[in-house]
Amino acid sequence: MRLNIKDVESSVYTPNQNKVEGVVDYKPTKEDVVFTIRGEHDYMYEDIPAISDSTRVKAEMRKTACAKKVGHRYYLKINSRGELFNPIDPAHLAQSDRKENGLPIWKYANVAYTTFCHYSHFLKTRNQNFLILARRDMGST
């Protein structure tokens, strides 16, 4: 039996045989969300209490604003001594809009996702043990 070249060529796999049409690149949506403690929230974002305002900057300036998500980065509110903002503590709430030398005491610092997860559990449950875990993740006690 003699092999025909056309028979051999048709049995060989070529990438063009399995074309994929309509490939869509995954582009995550950029969402900016400001989080707060349960009870002070306007809506829930992925089961975490969040603040809605006309702009993100206005929401960040509210007394009870604790954390924010910008794109895929997570930020927690800390003071100049490196303490995490505790919205349950009356001393922290009283100083939340205080300024020193024209600059606010409380600033948002970029944190790891695990630290944000512990802090978000604190915001949902008001359980201070999660706040302690978030402090440990940041390296401050």
Q: What is the pLDDT of residues 113-133, one digit of tens each?
A: 999 999 999 999 999 999 999
pLDDT score of 36 more than 80: yes
| Confidence tier at 3 by pLDDT (50, 70, 90) | low
Please give the model's pTM, rounded to 2 decimal places: 0.72
* Position 71 confidence tier, pLDDT thresholds 50, 70, 90: confident
Residue whose C-alpha is closest to residue 95's, from 81, 75, 109: 81
What one-character DSSP code corresponds to residue 85? P
Q: How confident is the model at residue 134 (pLDDT cuts 50, 70, 90)?
A: very high
Alpha helical stretches, state H, the chain: 5-11, 56-60, 90-94, 113-125, 128-138
Average pLDDT over the chain, rounded to an integer:
78
- CB atoms near residue 75 (< 10 Å): 19
